[in-house]
Amino acid sequence: MTGARPILLIDDSADVRSVLRVGLESEGYFVIEAADGRESVRLYREHRPALVLVDIVMPEKDGIETVREILAIDTDAVIFTMTGKDGAEDHNEVASMLGARRGFRKPIRIDDLLAGIRLHLRTPTARLEKVYKEGVRITLQDGPEEASSLRAPGNGVALTPPSSPPPLSPP
């Protein structure tokens, strides 16, 4: 996605990185790669990616230590973990306790990964605009800059954001 912050993909397997990079890039994401935890911390500082996808079991510096270090740099970092080793659920649970947002077991289904990314980054998925009679325009947009508005010629009215509960109506 042009102008968007990249996704940092960390895995010691070049094959895994290649498959995931192709899947992410096919959806318009810009991906930077690291082969180990040490390199990834440097790249995180340099690029401040929108999301980090890190393998838990790696030589040099494992994913748990990498998650800790990245969260020490940026407590709001969006981190997903992945592992294919026995006890994967335990590894991902530890990462979750440290602050990772989601864990995946390898092999990762690209559709599941993309759904998780959209959810956590609130990637725009829809924009609906309808122009009614007399120039009244309704725009609904789902994304990081969520906007809901109603426009009539010369006037704008903000609508209740979709995340707000509807007002209670009197009985």
Residue 111: other Cβ atoms inside 10 A:
9
Cβ atoms of 6 and 43 closer than 8 Å: no
Residues 6+ apart with CB under 8 A from 33: 8, 9, 10, 17, 21
* Secondary structure (DSSP) of 3-34: TSPPEEEE-S-HHHHHHHHHHHHTTT--EEEE
pLDDT recorded at residue 143? 44
DSSP designation for 60: S
Cβ atoms of 43 and 65 closer than 8 Å: no
Q: What are phi and psi of 19, to 5 degrees?
A: -60, -45
* Secondary structure (DSSP) of 27-55: TT--EEEESSHHHHHHHHHHH--SEEEEE
Superfamily of domain 7-121: Response regulator (3.40.50.2300)
Query: How far is Cα 3 from Cα 19, in angstroms, rounded to an integer?
Result: 23
79 three-class SS: strand
Q: pLDDT 10s digit of each residue in the chain, 171 long? A: 445 789 999 999 999 999 999 999 999 999 999 999 889 999 999 999 999 999 988 888 888 899 999 999 999 999 999 988 666 567 667 777 888 888 888 888 999 999 999 888 874 444 444 444 555 555 544 444 444 444 445 555 555 454 444 444 444
Domain boundaries defined on the chain: 7-121, 126-158
pLDDT digits (tens, 9 = 90+) for 42-88: 999 999 999 999 998 888 888 889 999 999 999 999 999 998 866 65
